[in-house]
Structure 1
Amino acid sequence: MDSHDPDGLVNLRKLADHFALNLPEDKKVPIVLVPGFAGWGTPLFGTINYWGGIENMPRLLMDKGYTVIITPVGPISSNWERACELYRQLTCGRFNRFVPETQDVEEHHDLDISYGKYFESDPENGPRQSRTSGRKRAILFSPSPQEYADWKWSETSKAHFICHSQGGVTVRYLISLMLRGAGDIHPEYFDSGGRDTWAISVITLGTPHKGTTIIDVVENFLLNSASQAIKLVARLFATASFSRPEQRVYDLQLDHWGICRDGNETFQEMRSRFESTSGPVSKWYNSNINGFYDNSIKGVGDLNRKAAPASPNIYYFTLSFHSTVPFPSYWPPWTINAIRSFPVPLVSFIREVLYSIPLVNIGVWIVDSIVNGILNTAGWAIISRLISIHDLVRWVTQEVLNRLLYETDYKVSLPPPGRYLPRNDVMPLILPVVYAMGGQDLSPEQKRILGPNLGDWYQNDGVVNTESMCGPHGSVVKDIAAFPISDINSDSARGIYWHLGVNDRMDHLDEIGIIIQEDTAHSMNEMYFNLATIVTRLPPRRRQPSHL
């Protein structure tokens, strides 16, 4: 099988075609979809799916005979919290079922979640409770739902995982807990290890395996004004969390932090409590037990000390994306016309300056000849060699625009130009982020965490740096071309992150189908169908019985 194409989606399609022709399929093993940062379960406003946007990707997979489980874990929670929630949702034996006849999803908020003793090491910075209740069940899409009425994830009821963004890091943590156990930290869920074989495969899409610099971009934009950021976040949290969980349009699932309505308090009272420097939002934001920290380079670096990079019993595949083009190294052809349209014509400005110098105005014709020559072809060729368009944009940004913003008391700072610009089809929502991440330098501490062979940390998909997507630090990452296609059940196929390649036509939202163009939607649909084709043909690893 030839899988040397630079486009990861092409390699994915070739691998899926080969699997379809040569390997038997088992559609009875569920495919668990784990959302990334800010993800959700039930469609927003009843129409916008996390997986598919206005399309319903789980439904499309179900129509092809696959069983799919959507896990509505905390959208901005830490990976520990999300791993606990994911485990509970998959082992409780209850689902919210998708009903094809009505296109609706059943709504049951009856799950209790335990976070163990994880927060006891630093109770001052942890949530006010280590348990929460009234959480939503996972959602089941299946052509035969009766067969999964009491399905529980186990050694005999295995699962595949397809993860977007932070979902891949969450599942990595979960698999590590299943592999090693958590001891006294969480004996209820992770009392012992050796259960990693419950998972057959893990596929990650645009996952920040080594962290992302988007956190730095946001902090730089806000001039590191934590108080301003917390106040803004507090107002958003109050709006989202005032209602009961089952009535919320978008559930943050942070009630155990006190980020919910207390008793009969009014919205104004709740917002005031949230905005307080000693309130629950400030405590959560500054605790480093949240999705912002856990997706940062430092946060993932901390995870590396707690979690195994991979299980030797699981197949791993990764797919990378970017939505950038190089910043132009040349001046565009419209530059001279743009200069001529400047409010004060450059030629007139230079002429007036020269005329103000004593004796210079004697040779008026000489001055005019020099000035008029500046903007002709030969003159412009000289100027364009002295200064690049990148330097000019940087100067305008830092010395003009940011100074103006500062003097007018705006607490923001525009990012300077970097190595990349957003591709012309990037969603407007994340276009500024693609631009900013394209110029976000790594700090000395981040370079130390990442170690040598940094690679290109400017290329990105609008949320995650492309360099971070191939696999976690300390893992074995190999090109998909080296995958042992003829010996798929061997140890050499498992425990390795097989990198399918980089796709340069999808941004972070395209990867899940949120507000995308028609041609990109076709590519997204094909991507998930190919992923399903592959995982349902991967053989499970059986845990060998102990002979103690």
Structure 2
Amino acid sequence: MTAPRLPLTLLLAVTSLLSACRSDPAAPTPAQADTRLSVAATPTPTEATATPKLTDLTATYPGGTQPRTLALDKSVPLILVHGLGGWGRDEGLGLRYWGGLLDVQADLRAQGYTVYTASLGPVSSNWDRAAELYAQIRGGCVDYGAAHAQTQGHARTDPKKCYAGFYPGWDATRPVNLLGHSMGGQTARLLVKLLDDGDAANRASGGLFTGGRAGWVRNVMTVSSPNSGSPAADTLQDSIPMFKNLILAFASSVGGLDPENFVYDFDLGHWGLSRAAGETFTSYNTRVFNSGIWTSRDQAAYDLSVDGSAALNTYVGRSRTTKYFSWETNATSRGLVSGWHYPNLTMNAVLSPIAYPYAWPLKPGLGNISGRSPGGIGYDSSWWANDGIVPNRSMNAPLGQTSAAYTGQITAPGSWYRLGRVDGYDHIDITGNLSFRDVKAFYRNQAAFLAGQ
């Protein structure tokens, strides 16, 4: 039986009202908890928590109020790079990844900025996404590199991924700024690495992999990015159901409760996983998540894990010619007795079971994560504050790299600046794509800041 197809605005209104009607910080329901395979019993009883904070997005200009004398170069293109599960402007039935019912790209263009929205593989590796991002900005057909493709067992290119280019004249004298949400921040950083240095194993493939393009990216800004990974993605047993449920949540919301209405592409043609003519979205989604891609490390689950991110960070390092900036988001509050971090009432229902601090004998959630990653990276209380899927500790410079709090000082290439924390916004909220939250002010502030750097 087909579910009723409600208008998107009505669906979101109902979701918002249900969240608002909750009067206590209850644990996720057993049904929600079941979205994580490790959770099979009653969640931890709640405790009193610190009062949740809420950031005013109009007050998110880095370092305070924008200087009146600041000259803005709005001609430098700003490329918006989506994260895990994201989609392009020709997908989602008009719901924008950046802005939801509102349109961040259109709003920024109305302010005079040059803005483009990338559309990358939503569950692909950062390597494959970086190759796609390069082709979309400069133009041409995507090339994943001959050696990389052979090693990973997929095609070197995809005939459906040829582009006119956002900015065909792109070079060091005509650079771009990259703003990445979630995994998009990792992808942006890897692209800068390949532009600067190329890759020895794939250099014979030419193009991006030859390097010698230092300065092509003026600034990278990461928002809610797992720059040091997330324990939520440490094992495939946890991450694959989490990814699948997240994408189904997008599909159900956009499609008016019927996910078959969702216009969406996993962009996995190079893996032989294109959506067949007439194939339902549910069938396509299941086929992707049951495919052999997950037995390799050339996919999002590995790159988003703490160990995968550590390997990526060792390879990427930091450019000497690009400036780095980062924003955190947080949607948890500290328990007054345990110190564990509990999801705020407003956290998306898909994320709450991931964030919730489960007590023994259940496996801990992000809010009380302990132990070590499979590769031996230790977790302590500094990992507990999170936005529903990424710990705050992971959202700034990669572990082991230097960074500085930005307070309005002159910035320098090769340096990383922490811009602050947006409280009361979960991992999805800050994009505005599954809530009524108007995030235009946040992105206006970031566009102005980057245009002044």
- Fold shared, TM-score > 0.5 on shorter chain: yes
Quickly say closer, same or farther: Cα 1:216–1:444, change in 2 above 3 A. closer
Q: CA deviation at 1:121?
A: 6.2
- The DSSP-based 3-state class of the residue aligned with 2:129 is helix
- Residue 528 of structure 1 is aligned with which of 443, 447, 450? 443
Q: Distance in 2 between matches of 1:529 and 1:290?
A: 32
- State the match for 2:100 in structure 1: 53
- Counterpart residue type for residue 496 of structure 1: S
**For 1:466-495, what per-residue CA distance to the aligned partner results, in whole angstroms no more than 9, with x for missing partners?**
1100111342211113x533xx4xxxx221
Alignment partner of 1:484 is 2:409: yes
Quickly say closer, same or farther: Cα 1:184–1:218, change in 2 above 3 A. closer
**For 1:236-283, what per-residue CA distance to the aligned partner results, in whole angstroms no more than 9, with x for missing partners?**
8xx99xxxxxx9810101111111367x9x959x969x86xxx99432
Contact 2:197 2:210 (8 Å CA) reproduced:
yes
Contact 2:355 2:367 (8 Å CA) reproduced:
no
Alignment partner of 1:26 is 2:73: yes
List gaps (5 residues or longer) in structure 1. 1-5, 93-110, 141-149, 241-246, 330-389, 391-417, 539-548
- State the match for 1:183 in structure 2: 200
- Counterpart residue type for residue 294 of structure 1: D
Q: Distance in 2 between matches of 1:11 and 1:314?
A: 26
- Counterpart residue type for residue 516 of structure 1: S
The two structures, once aligned, show a CA RMSD in angstroms of 3.6
- State the match for 2:187 in structure 1: 170
- Residue 37 of structure 1 is aligned with which of 45, 63, 84? 84
Alignment partner of 1:17 is 2:60: no
- State the match for 1:510 in structure 2: 429
- State the match for 2:348 in structure 1: 427
Q: Distance in 2 between matches of 1:429 and 1:445?
A: 23
Quickly say closer, same or farther: Cα 1:456–1:55, change in 2 above 3 A. same
Q: Distance in 2 between matches of 1:505 and 1:257?
A: 38
- Counterpart residue type for residue 23 of structure 1: L
Quickly say closer, same or farther: Cα 1:168–1:66, change in 2 above 3 A. same
- Counterpart residue type for residue 33 of structure 1: L
- State the match for 2:141 in structure 1: 112
- State the match for 1:323 in structure 2: 331
Alignment partner of 1:469 is 2:390: no
Q: CA deviation at 1:216?
A: 4.3
Q: Distance in 2 between matches of 1:530 and 1:271?
A: 41
- State the match for 1:107 in structure 2: none
User: In the comparison of the two structures, how many residue pairs are matched?
Assistant: 379
Q: CA deviation at 1:431?
A: 2.3
**For 1:119-177, what per-residue CA distance to the aligned partner results, in whole angstroms no more than 9, with x for missing partners?**
35635xx22x121111274896xxxxxxxxx6332123211111100011011111111
Q: Distance in 2 between matches of 1:153 and 1:131?
A: 22
In proportion to residue count, which structure has more helix?
1
Percent of paired sites with the same residue:
28
Contact 1:419 1:438 (8 Å CA) reproduced:
no
Q: CA deviation at 1:441?
A: 2.5
Quickly say closer, same or farther: Cα 1:45–1:504, change in 2 above 3 A. closer
- The DSSP-based 3-state class of the residue aligned with 2:121 is coil
Q: Distance in 2 between matches of 1:288 and 1:509?
A: 25
Q: Distance in 2 between matches of 1:11 and 1:477?
A: 22
Larger radius of gyration: 1
- The DSSP-based 3-state class of the residue aligned with 1:429 is coil
- Counterpart residue type for residue 119 of structure 1: H
Q: Distance in 2 between matches of 1:61 and 1:77?
A: 28
Q: CA deviation at 1:299?
A: 0.8
Q: CA deviation at 1:17?
A: 3.0
- State the match for 1:368 in structure 2: none
Q: Distance in 1 between matches of 2:275 and 2:101?
A: 32
Alignment partner of 1:250 is 2:298: no
Q: Distance in 1 between matches of 2:211 and 2:430?
A: 33
Contact 1:206 1:319 (8 Å CA) reproduced:
yes
**For 1:347-371, what per-residue CA distance to the aligned partner results, in whole angstroms no more than 9, with x for missing partners?**
xxxxxxxxxxxxxxxxxxxxxxxxx
- Counterpart residue type for residue 24 of structure 1: A
* Aligned residue runs from structure 1 range 30-179, under 5 A: 30-42=77-89, 44-92=91-139, 112-119=141-148, 122-123=151-152, 126-127=153-154, 129-135=155-161, 137=163, 151-179=168-196
Contact 2:120 2:133 (8 Å CA) reproduced:
yes
Q: Distance in 2 between matches of 1:445 and 1:507?
A: 24
Quickly say closer, same or farther: Cα 1:248–1:510, change in 2 above 3 A. closer
Alignment partner of 1:458 is 2:373: no
- The DSSP-based 3-state class of the residue aligned with 1:131 is coil
- Residue 260 of structure 1 is aligned with which of 274, 297, 316? 274
Contact 1:200 1:315 (8 Å CA) reproduced:
yes
- State the match for 2:295 in structure 1: 286
Alignment partner of 1:306 is 2:225: no
Contact 1:477 1:497 (8 Å CA) reproduced:
yes
Contact 2:397 2:416 (8 Å CA) reproduced:
yes
Q: CA deviation at 1:47?
A: 2.0
Contact 2:329 2:387 (8 Å CA) reproduced:
yes
Quickly say closer, same or farther: Cα 1:120–1:131, change in 2 above 3 A. closer
- State the match for 1:210 in structure 2: 228
- Counterpart residue type for residue 109 of structure 2: M
- State the match for 1:438 in structure 2: 366
Contact 2:347 2:426 (8 Å CA) reproduced:
yes
Q: Distance in 2 between matches of 1:498 and 1:133?
A: 39
Please report the TM-score for the alignment, with normalisation by the length of structure 1: 0.62
Quickly say closer, same or farther: Cα 1:248–1:526, change in 2 above 3 A. closer
Q: Distance in 1 between matches of 2:120 and 2:170?
A: 16
Q: Distance in 2 between matches of 1:56 and 1:139?
A: 21
Q: Distance in 2 between matches of 1:248 and 1:130?
A: 28
Alignment partner of 1:494 is 2:413: yes
Contact 1:323 1:505 (8 Å CA) reproduced:
yes
Contact 2:406 2:417 (8 Å CA) reproduced:
yes
Quickly say closer, same or farther: Cα 1:420–1:474, change in 2 above 3 A. closer
Contact 2:58 2:442 (8 Å CA) reproduced:
no
Q: Distance in 1 between matches of 2:193 and 2:178?
A: 14
Contact 1:72 1:137 (8 Å CA) reproduced:
no
Please report the TM-score for the alignment, with normalisation by the length of structure 2: 0.74
Contact 2:147 2:201 (8 Å CA) reproduced:
no
Q: Distance in 2 between matches of 1:306 and 1:16?
A: 34
Q: Distance in 2 between matches of 1:267 and 1:9?
A: 41
- Counterpart residue type for residue 52 of structure 1: G
- State the match for 1:219 in structure 2: 237
**For 1:38-83, what per-residue CA distance to the aligned partner results, in whole angstroms no more than 9, with x for missing partners?**
1111154432000001000100001111110111011110000001
Contact 1:49 1:55 (8 Å CA) reproduced:
yes
